[in-house]
Amino acid sequence: MTEPKKNKDLAALFPECRVAVEAWLKQARATFPQFNINVSETRRTKERQEWLYAQGRTRPGPVVTYTLDSRHRAGLAVDLVVTRKLTPFKAEWDWRVWRAIYKAVPPEKYGLRPLDFEMVHLELINSDAILARRPAGLVIT
């Protein structure tokens, strides 16, 4: 199976998530002008989530997700990529950099949270409540 297309469009997010991510990104970029801080993935289709889940299990490579029921499927999460402006094609994986960004611009102030084990992932803090009540406009692909 070929890799399903990655979606980077903020408009694909659930509206509350899009507003929170846009506000956080604006502040993070202003606080850290030496970095490019961008969204690498937004909403995922079921097929893409299954493809990612297969990696490290039935397809070669390291495990990159631990669930088939990701918040990405409902547009309630984003993955980020950080690069230094001096080396724009080299992603920053040093967790000290991510911790510094999150300390200076706490996602929680924007209604977001990173995962302890996956710093590149931000999701709405209240995503469980949103999923439980399934408001109009929440479409899980």
93-122: per-residue pLDDT in tens?
999 999 999 999 999 999 999 998 899 999
The label of the residue with tokens 């990159």 reads 64
In the predicted structure, residue 141 carries a pLDDT above the cut 80 = no
CATH number, domain 10-133? 3.30.1380.10
Q: Which of 51, 40, 60 is nearest to 118 (CA)?
A: 40
User: Hey, what are 120's tokens?
Assistant: 């590149």
Amino acid 5: pLDDT: 96
Let me know: does 55 contact 63? Beta carbons within 8 Å: yes
- The percent of residues above 70 in pLDDT, for the chain, comes to 100
Which residue(s) pair with 78 in the sheet? 122
